[in-house]
Amino acid sequence: MDEGNPIAYTVLETGVPVMSSDEQQVGSVHHVVAAPEKDIFHGLVLSTSGGRRFVAAADVAALHEHRVDLSIDAAGAAELPAPGGAAPVFSEDPGATSTWSHWVNRLSGRKDWHRDG
């Protein structure tokens, strides 16, 4: 199989085969997980026979036009987690006074701050 030229994550297409380090096809690209405005590649969501799986960027060895290579073997790929959704968003009232009790409450998860979402 011709893997094609090396590419950036920004042009990786859906459906490209994903290969383990022991040359087994473990799935195909479902979509890229990235923060393109900051040029951060987080990883890939794969379509596999067991459903969708997330592979972190650290486990992606190479991206090519017609193939993605992982640095983990097929057994490791079978243990990949399902995608978990977006990162949590936290907000804080900018008008709140930064008192000692405010920071203690914030660090301990008490009620003067809240989690959105």
> Which residue segments constitute the domains of the chain, with CATH numbers given?
9-78 (2.30.30.240), 90-117 (no CATH)
**Does position 26 have pLDDT exceeding 70, yes or no?**
yes
Q: What pLDDT shows up at residue 2?
A: 86
Count of beta carbons in the 10 Å neighbourhood of residue 19: 21
Q: What pLDDT shows up at residue 116?
A: 57
Q: How far apart are CA 102 and CA 82, in angstroms?
A: 36
Q: What percent of the chain has pLDDT over 70?
A: 74
Beta strand ranges found along 6-97 (DSSP E): 17-19, 25-35, 40-48, 51-56, 60-64, 67-70, 89-91
Q: What pLDDT shows up at residue 98?
A: 64
Contacts 24+ apart (CB under 8 A), 13-16: 16/65, 16/66, 16/67, 16/68
User: 5 with 65: CB under 8 angstroms?
Assistant: yes
Q: pLDDT per residue over 45-90, tens digit each?
A: 999 999 999 999 999 999 999 999 999 999 999 999 999 876 555 5
Going by pLDDT thresholds of 50, 70 and 90, the confidence category of residue 104 is: confident
**Does position 44 have pLDDT exceeding 90, yes or no?**
yes
pTM over 0.75: no
